[in-house]
Structure 1
Amino acid sequence: MSFSKLKKVELHLHLEGAAPPAFIRSLAKEKNMSIDGVFDENGAYSYTDFWDFLKVYEAATACLKTPEDYARLTSAVLENCAEHGVVYAETFLAPDFCGGGDVVAWREYLHAMQEAADKAEKDSGIILRGIPTVVRHFGPDAAKKSAKCAVETAGDWVVGFGMGGDEKFGTPSDFAYAFDMAREAGLKITSHAGEWSGPEEIRATIQDLKAVRIGHGVRAIEDAALVREIVEKDIVLEVCPGSNVALGVYADWASHPIQKLRDAGVKVTVSTDDPPFFHTTMTDEYEMLSRTFGWDDDTFRALNIGAAEAAFCTDATRAQILKKLEA
């Protein structure tokens, strides 16, 4: 079957991390900015490990300086997503990068991105929603500013609140205040955990941040009791297998625990994370899942219905997504 045409839901996508390399090079040229060390000799993003990846990610993101830059980025990312059959996506947006955590500036960036998303929906049918996200290694004080931005703009388009960045910085409880603010404003909670840290980090994220979805979460497989807890609490994992393999969390696709997690009753979804950094697309992810684990049409259909049900959008938007998947 043609996996590119299969209709998909993607819940774990960093907007800046989805920037095509050519887009960032062009933007840097327009602004006369140096981007030494960001790309290899073939023009792809270049990094040595996860922590070097974070530095390269932030260097590339530095080229994005205005709301218009983010509008153009949104258009480029959604065009690529639609080419790979994505009908609904949720993207992580860091107020730290979009106005430095200032609410007035954040509103301007958000308006620009939302306008671009609305145009993409009219042009190709793809629906986008935003999840303001804390950059963990920027610290708890910056997180409170990001939470204020999220709270001030919560609604039909800003639907959740999350955290990415370096898992080894601090503990989930350090960020509880920011997450309490967001949750009290009606935003649903997700957070990266269990990618570079082990099961205890996932457990603490569920307990201290009250997360209903976990970004990655794959290392839960190392703790059978935690797997049972995730199933019992109906926690959904935003799994990004290609990212995990590219960064060396797992040596290869055959070693990845997504099938074992699914067999244990865990609700898993599939996303690309930062696709050009990891040389992947949603089509590639589906092809590798089919090749490695024998996933078929019925498996992918159940996967996408589950992702639609786990989406942070309104019920009216969810009905639209399910209709698109059925079609």
Structure 2
Amino acid sequence: MIGHLKKVELHCHLEGAAPPVLAQAQANKYGVDTRDFLRDGAYVWHDFTSFLGAYDAVASLFRTEADYALLTETYLGSLAAAGTVYSEIFVSPDHGEAVGLGADGYIAGISRGIEAARIRTGIECRMVVIGLRHKGPERVEWAARYAANCRNPLVTGFNMAGEERVGRVADYARAFDIARDAGLGITIHAGELCGAFSVRDALDHVRPSRIGHGVRAIEDPALVDRLADEGIVLEVCPGSNVALGVFPDFASHPLRRLHAAGVKVTLNSDDPPFFQTSLQREYAVASEAMGFTAAETDEMTRTAIDAAFVDEATRAALLERL
């Protein structure tokens, strides 16, 4: 019943959105054996650590500006076909550095793909630069400085992702100060693999306007109240949470309880082909498995636009499109 609704996505990792058919084509192009991470048209992993390994293997298949332009336009085109009017994609300059493209070439290629998709489909998109937590505080600060100084108008936010069980949130606070001082929107992965304490630490040390996942806040009723009172927006990814075993099934997922408690929530796909999902499916799951009405789902989309890292003129134009 929600197929006709306009959609918005705030939480998707670009390399994690690569369709397996495109990844295989890239592997053929560069002569890469994919058997360790891609078989029979599906990505292969069994836990969060092996998922990160598969993710990095897929990322290594994109090596030029043209490769990244193709990946970006491909994903945004699929979103637009499902009625999506706005997307924020998480981008990691570390991946550009790893393949020898460099951060500037990496961002330039993605920018080309964003513009091509906008011209072809009308979808708006911005980039949120990611610092990789498991690479340590100094490298996350490097990513924050890059985001702060790259002067690309499509880079509007900063985030930290990766292995949530490495280090303390406080160790990374300076990176977020660098990004905030540059006027970037702030979000952070928390409350996914780690419990409610990680969400509390994020609020205390990073002061984000949004939290990626955040769903394990449900373990602490006082924290749920705090999220609601402070108006923190959660970028919720039910399909990802179930695929990674954070919750055993959609019936036990806390999205409905968080929404009922007054927490601002949005729907997102995270790394869609890795988790056999899509933004369209996330909206369908909310409706069919969690009982959200079309009006409630549309409210989540409006919440996402209100929380998007865009200028006010763009925000107004996106709201008009709903």
Q: TM range, normalised to the smaller chain?
A: over 0.9
| Equivalent residue, structure 2, for 1:27 | 26
Instruction: Give the TM-score taking structure 2 as reference length.
Output: 0.96
**2:257 aligns to what?**
260
Q: Answer yes or no: is the 8 Å Cα contact 1:156–1:313 preserved in 2.
A: no
- Runs of 4+ aligned residues of structure 1 deviating over 6 Å after TM superposition are none
Matched residue SS, 1:98: helix
1:222 matched to 2:202 = no
Question: Quick check: 2:12–2:271 contact (8 Å CA) kept in 1?
Answer: yes
3-state DSSP of counterpart to 2:272: coil
Aligned letter for 1:265?
A: G
Counterpart for residue 192 of structure 2:
195
The answer as to whether partners of 2:141 and 2:175 remain within 8 angstroms in 1 is yes
In the other structure, the counterpart of 1:66 is: 64
Does the Cα contact within 8 Å between 1:156 and 1:314 map onto a contact in 2? Answer: no
Question: Is the contact between residue 8 and residue 84 of structure 2 (CA under 8 Å) also seen in structure 1?
Answer: yes
Q: Is the 8 A contact 2:5 2:298 kept in 1?
A: no
Task: Write out aligned runs for 1:117-132 (5 A).
Answer: 117-132=114-129
* In 2: Cα distance, 1:4 partner to 1:37 partner: 36
Which whole-Å CA distance do the structure 2 matches of 1:299 and 1:137 have between them? Answer: 36
Q: Which residue of 1 aligns with 2:108?
A: 111
**Aligned residue in 1 for 2:204:** 207
**How do 1:129-140 and structure 2 match up within 5 A?**
129-140=126-137
Offset of 1:314 from its aligned partner?
0.8
Query: What corresponds to 2:295 in structure 1?
Result: 298
Aligned equivalents of 1:163, 1:282: Cα separation in 2 = 22
Distance apart, 1:155 and its partner CA: 5.5
Q: Could you give the per-residue CA deviations for residues 64-106 of structure 1, whole angstroms, max 9, x where no partner exists?
A: 112221111101111111122111000100010123599x932
Aligned partners of 1:154 and 1:187 also within 8 Å: no
Decide whether the 8 Å contact of 2:157 with 2:309 is kept in 1: yes
Matching residue's letter, 2:163: D
Q: 1:281 Cα shift?
A: 1.2
Shift of 1:178: 1.2
Map 1:242-281 → 2, pairs under 5 A: 242-281=239-278
Which of 294, 306, 310 aligns to 1:309? It is 306
Gapped regions of structure 2 (runs ≥ 5): none
Of 109-118 and 187-196, deviating more is 109-118
Letter in 1 for 2:31: N
Aligned residues: 322
| Structure 1 residues 37 and 149: alpha-carbon distance in aligned structure 2, compared to 1, 3 A threshold | same
**Deviation per CA, 1:203-222, whole angstroms, max 9, x where unpaired?**
11111112111000000000
| Contiguous gaps of at least 5 residues in structure 1 | none
Could you say which residue in structure 1 is the equivalent of 2:228? 231
- Shift, 1:34, TM fit: 2.3
Q: Note the C-alpha offset of 1:35.
A: 2.2
* Aligned positions of 1:179-194 closer than 5 A: 179-194=176-191
Q: Distance in 1 between matches of 2:72 and 2:152?
A: 19
For the aligned residue pairs, the C-alpha RMSD in angstroms reads 1.6
In 2: Cα distance, 1:15 partner to 1:263 partner? 31
Alpha-carbon offset, residue 4 of structure 1? 3.6
Q: Which amino acid aligns with 1:28?
A: A
| Residue matched to 1:48 | 46
Cα distance between partner residues in 2 of 1:100 and 1:190: 24
Whole-angstrom CA distance in 2 between matches of 1:278 and 1:133: 20
Q: Normalising by the residue count of structure 1, what TM-score does the alignment of the two structures yield?
A: 0.95
Residue in structure 2 matched with residue 156 of structure 1 by the alignment: 153
